[in-house]
Amino acid sequence: MHGDRDDRLLAIIRTQTEIAASDLDLLATMELIAERSQELTRASGAVLELAEDDEMVYEVTTGDATPYLGMRLKQSASLSGQCIAEARLLRSDDTERDERVDVAACRRVNAASMICVPLIHRREVVGVLKVYSALAHNFNDDDVEALELLTDLIAAHISHATSFEIEAHDCRHDALTGLANRRAYEERLAVEVSRATRYDQPLSLCLLDLDGFKAVNDELGHPAGDQVLRGAARVIDESRVADDVFRIGGDEFAILMPQTGPADARLAAQRIADALDDAQLVSGGIGASFGVAATHGDPEHAHASADAELIAAKDRLYGRQTRPRG
């Protein structure tokens, strides 16, 4: 028995070290935690659950729980929900006889016994770690101790990984519209140009600029201008022309169109311009001018070519050689 306990403690230390040394990729971190928790407790399945509104969501699953990724349970009717509410570890040795659990859900995932551990970091519950077994009375006090020894580190690591991902998202997204920003655009353009060149596939870039936007700001004020930008971003993003839509500055947007030649890209851009006009984002509508370029191995050249075509379109619209921005 003494040797078994030493082996268990050594396994816990190794798990702590592995978690601490892992990078800040949130999904990879959570998968590692679930796998090691299942191994340490000899469980048949492990789940990392996150609270979403009044439900608990299976965000990561291992072992017998694998098929149930994304499963949702009402917090009020689940042991994990009660675990969050009470902010303490809860154990069920026989789910068929435990009024705290959702018996139907337990039968569905074949959980006859389980341990739910709240992951608390700086007094905030960041999730629940659940291990379960197809056998009743499968877990003992050593299993509880093993999970308790891991939970502080697990909670801190998930919290830090979540913060890292939020920061990474925020630095590449525009706060006003929610679209990816200029930094993300430049990174993505380089990646897509490289891929298109490597596989000899067409790739088009569209730069789109709202017509008359400066007048909206001047006459109606910046709050109205912000509303127009949010509406325009929504129209462009919902056009389903491409997944890669960016706000790269002011009222200028960029759209990457993989596997699309310039002729088809211009048709798509015109549909977006028509949709913006139809959306009536301001009284009288607001249009858009655009420039399209095919990429040929040089991201900067592609951007410059699309921008030159956009400038020419604006010049034609305003009947001048030097166009105003907006």
Residue 196 sits in a domain whose CATH number is: 3.30.70.270
Are 228 and 109 within one domain? no
- Number of domains within the chain: 2
Note whether residue 176 is domain-resident.
no
Active-site annotation, residues:
251
Are 50 and 134 within one domain? yes
Is 60 exceeded by the pLDDT of residue 255?
A: yes
pLDDT tens digits along 169-219 = 667 788 899 898 998 899 889 888 888 888 888 999 999 999 988 888 888
Residue 13 pLDDT: 67
Q: Are 291 and 311 in contact (CB under 8 A)?
A: yes
| Domain interval for residue 82 | 2-170
Note whether residue 325 is domain-resident.
no
Are 147 and 84 within one domain? yes
CATH for 63: 3.30.450.40
Are 121 and 26 within one domain? yes
pLDDT tens digits along 290-318 = 999 998 778 999 999 999 999 999 888 87
Is 90 exceeded by the pLDDT of residue 139?
A: yes
Residue 12 pLDDT: 67
Tell me, yes or no, if the pTM score tops 0.75.
no
Both tokens of 279, joined, read 């959306």
Are 166 and 240 within one domain? no
Note whether residue 324 is domain-resident.
no
